[in-house]
Amino acid sequence: MTTRLFKPPAYRMSARSREEIVQAIMSITTRHDYPLSFNVKVYDADLSLKNLLRHWREYEGKSGTYDPRWLKEVASRYDQHEGSLFEWGLEGARRHFTGDYEDTFQMLWDGTELRVDYGFSGRGGGWLVILEFEGHRFARMQVTLQEYLTEMPWRDLKHLYQLCLMLHHDTAPDKRKSEVEHSAAFDFFANICNDIKQEAVQLDLFDTPEVIAELALSGKYPDDDYTPIVKPFVIN
């Protein structure tokens, strides 16, 4: 039985002819220092501790992350490193193109493998650029992008169009904002807070874990004589 892959609507090719595809590529890429550029600037990432915790719980689950003593120490380290979080988030997001996870955008949605060389340009590296695609180098071109694409082999042109559709969708403002937040959360908790002991605890019969977390982050809980009751782990 053959499994059919579902193509996300944003990845669907509306252009069909060579002329239409060339115009589509021109319209969804931005001319900057390089012919094929995508604006990846991030201005409004929410790097509050509360939001970083939300992202971290998506990675690790909730066990232990409501322990008030752990939360109080996390809050202390957050105050020490808050100024570095945005840069960590940017660096983590860029790894999908030029770092540890650079194979993320080396294939199309259907698994078709590509050879792509990416870079970042502009002030603060706010533009993602395609430097080379399947042997086609776009830096220092001797002709216009439109002229070059018009002569590009059909298979390469079609795949470039599909890649540009993916990048246009996956680097949209909401996507890049979320990726920066995820990356900052991972670097902070996995690297800065990884040595803080966590307990899975039964905190209070009356307050919810969320209420206890709010109190702990504000330094109001627990009292010095607080002793957590560790939940037993039951193996079925």
**Percentage with pLDDT > 70 across the chain:** 82
- 71 contacts 129 by C-beta, under 8 angstroms: no
Q: Residue for token digits 């990356």? A: 183
Report yes or no on whether pTM surpasses 0.85.
Answer: no
- 69 contacts 228 by C-beta, under 8 angstroms: yes
Taking the C-alpha atoms of residue 73 and residue 193, their distance in angstroms, rounded to an integer, is: 8
Residues forming beta bridges with residue 129, ordered by sequence position: 37, 119
Whether the per-residue pLDDT at 228 is higher than 90: the answer is no
pLDDT at 20: 97
Average pLDDT taken over every residue of the chain: 85
Taking the C-alpha atoms of residue 34 and residue 9, their distance in angstroms, rounded to an integer, is: 28
Among 69, 43, 91, 42, which residue's Cα sits nearest to residue 217? 69
Structure tokens at 90: 């940017």
Whether the per-residue pLDDT at 153 is higher than 60: the answer is yes
Lowest mean pLDDT among 41-50, 128-137, 198-207: 198-207
Residues forming beta bridges with residue 201, ordered by sequence position: 230
**78 or 70, greater pLDDT:** 78
pLDDT at 36: 93
- pLDDT, one tens digit per residue, over 176-220 is 999 999 999 999 999 999 999 877 655 454 467 777 777 777 777
Element (H, E) at 119: strand 116-121
pLDDT at 217: 77
Torsion angle of C-alpha atoms 101, 183, 125, 171, degrees rounded to 10: 80
CA gyration radius for the chain?
Answer: 23
